[in-house]
């Protein structure tokens, strides 16, 4: 039911974009964009209000606030993103769900690592504001993520049956 609602809403806005991109790419942009906005809001909220821009000390390790906010954001974005990609965007993938989940997790962890490295570099070495740095690193991660999701996680495998 949620799948049908999300798909219907996204597809409603597709006709003006039909000339420039296929439906699957539009759905990816909509779902990925929505999940990115969710992640950015979670990051901003947790950085500012949950962690109060302060170091998060867990006793065994202390996280800088921008890193803690990144981890918090990704913990929520992971399941939401997987469900959107599996049930709204890449519905034609014939790879088993558990394989998709494993691959999605691999891509997710890779994206987290890339985002972490970029965020630390931008904040700690270039001294950019944490939220601006997150926007820049997210842009890089989106491009990498789309390519990996399309051609690795949710690809359509040739079954050899014609």
List pLDDT tens digits, range 71-107. 899 899 989 999 999 999 999 888 999 999 999 999 9
Assess if residue 147 is contained within a domain.
Answer: yes
Assess if residue 162 is contained within a domain.
Answer: no
Q: What's the average model confidence in pLDDT over 1-28?
A: 93
Assess if residue 158 is contained within a domain.
Answer: no
Q: Which of 83, 5, 77, 86 is nearest to 42 (CA)?
A: 77
Count up the domains in the chain and report the number: 1
Q: In what helix (H) or strand (E) does residue 56 lie, and over which residues does it extend?
A: strand 56-57
Through-space distance between the first and last CA atoms of the chain, rounded to whole angstroms: 32
Assess if residue 16 is contained within a domain.
Answer: yes
Assess if residue 38 is contained within a domain.
Answer: yes
Assess if residue 132 is contained within a domain.
Answer: yes
Give the pLDDT confidence score for residue 5 in this predicted structure. 93
- Provide the mean pLDDT of the chain: 90
**pLDDT level of residue 125 (50, 70, 90 thresholds):** very high
Q: Which of 161, 31, 8, 9 is nearest to 90 (CA)?
A: 31
Task: Name the residue range of residue 14's domain.
Answer: 2-153
Assess if residue 159 is contained within a domain.
Answer: no
- pTM comes to 0.76
Residue 62's DSSP bridge partners are: 57
């Amino acid at each position: 039911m949620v799948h049908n609602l999300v798909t219907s809403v996204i597809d409603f806005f597709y006709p003006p974009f039909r000339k420039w991109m296929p439906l699957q790419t539009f759905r990816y942009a909509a779902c990925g964009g929505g999940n990115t906005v969710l992640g950015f809001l979670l990051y901003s909220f947790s950085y500012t209000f949950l962690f109060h821009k302060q170091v998060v000390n867990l006793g065994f390790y202390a996280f800088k606030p921008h890193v803690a906010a990144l981890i918090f954001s990704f913990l929520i974005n992971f399941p939401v993103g997987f469900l959107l990609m599996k049930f709204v965007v890449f519905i034609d993938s014939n790879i088993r769900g558990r394989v998709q989940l494993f691959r999605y997790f691999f891509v997710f962890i890779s994206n987290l690592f890339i985002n972490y490295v970029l965020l630390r570099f931008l904040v700690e070495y270039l001294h950019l504001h944490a939220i601006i740095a997150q926007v820049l690193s997210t842009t890089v991660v989106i491009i990498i993520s789309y390519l990996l999701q399309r051609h690795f996680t949710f690809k359509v495998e040739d079954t050899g049956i014609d």
